[in-house]
Amino acid sequence: MKIAVDAMGGDHAPEVVVNGVMKARDQWPDLEFMMFGDRAKVEPYLTDETRIEFVQADSQILNEDEPVKAVRRKKDSSMVMAAQAVKDGKAEALFSLGNTGALLATGIFVIGRIKGIERPALMPSLPTVNPNNMVNLLDCGANAESKASYLEQWALMGTIYARDIRNIAKPRVALLNNGTEFDKGDPLHQEVYQRLEKNPAINFVGNVESSNLLQDKADVIVSDGFTGNAVLKATEGMASLLLKMIKDTLLNSGIGVKLGAAMIKPALGEIKNRFSISDNGGAVLLGVNAPVIKTHGGSDEGAVISTIGQIREMLAKQTIPQVINYLKENPIK
């Protein structure tokens, strides 16, 4: 299994990317890498090139770049060259910490959509109240507008992912809506409800409201891209705010509270880790012809390693080929 890596993407690139890749390589002997980047910047960290093929890239896509224009104009960038390697069959998956919009555009325009998938979707994994389970939410921003057929396709892909990668025999699929009743929502969501309920390949459990997003009501939650992105950012922002408020309150309180804080510090650390990008893996762009995974630009080495492990599972379980084969026999329109 060979993974194409954009070594220049992310806030702490290339150090974090290179170190994470080398540790992942040592952990999984069946993995090989093609690493794209600026040799002068990468070389101080790339101390061992065993099973790592380095390819010089003369430019990089920055966070401030307009995504589609950057993909079209910077064909010599580390991200686009890595995607082209996947397109050409030299690598099997693409991994980057870089510009999210550019990675979405790269996946769609360079690697290409799966036949039968009208629009790919971005799918992160989020923690739930159940410490042994997570929830996949899609779409989280790849599409500003959606059709009912898109959401049905996303539900199918989310089902296959949860079954193969998370080892859930019959993943529960819910629709993010403004009420739990079947007739809630606008015409789009009412039509999606009927489609999901009638599809035998999807274990549809009904609507779920955003207040129950992390309540372990479902294993996969589908949403239109605009709403999914807004809910994701609100959830992440609230989690970060609450952790900060708790920390500030404990630090600025009296000695008795500080002593109590010392006693519960391990529990607070566990909660923080539940929301850690290092443990939750990367967001998957589902609907393109190969695994394309994005993790947060501020990720550490742990996040790089866990995301590479996630890619390895997708390749081993043939997740994308399963989607392709299913849609050949059961097109969704």
As a whole-number percent, the residues of the chain with pLDDT over 90 amount to: 67
Last residue of a domain, one of 279, 297, 314: 279
Check residue 279 and give its pLDDT: 57
Q: Which DSSP letter does residue 92 get?
A: S
- Residue 78 pLDDT more than 80? yes
In this structure, the answer to whether residues 271 and 132 fall within a common structural domain is: yes
What is the band of 278 on the pLDDT scale with cuts at 50, 70, 90?
A: very low
In this structure, the answer to whether residues 132 and 251 fall within a common structural domain is: yes
In this structure, the answer to whether residues 130 and 226 fall within a common structural domain is: yes
Last residue of a domain, one of 235, 256, 279: 279
In this structure, the answer to whether residues 275 and 138 fall within a common structural domain is: yes
> pTM of the predicted model, to two decimals?
0.86
Stretch 182-192: mean pLDDT, rounded?
Answer: 92
- Cα–chain-centroid distance for residue 197? 26
- Residue 264 pLDDT more than 70? no
In this structure, the answer to whether residues 272 and 123 fall within a common structural domain is: yes
In this structure, the answer to whether residues 271 and 295 fall within a common structural domain is: no
- Residue 299 pLDDT more than 50? yes
For the chain, the domain total comes to: 2
Q: How many whole angstroms separate alpha carbon 108 and alpha carbon 205?
A: 31
Residue-by-residue DSSP string for 128-174 = -SSTT-EEEEE-SSS-SS--HHHHHHHHHHHHHHHHHHS--SS-EEE
In this structure, the answer to whether residues 146 and 233 fall within a common structural domain is: yes
In this structure, the answer to whether residues 137 and 190 fall within a common structural domain is: yes
In this structure, the answer to whether residues 263 and 226 fall within a common structural domain is: yes
Q: Give the CATH number for residue 8.
A: 3.40.718.10
Range of the domain at 297: 1-117+287-333
In this structure, the answer to whether residues 123 and 193 fall within a common structural domain is: yes
In this structure, the answer to whether residues 265 and 124 fall within a common structural domain is: yes
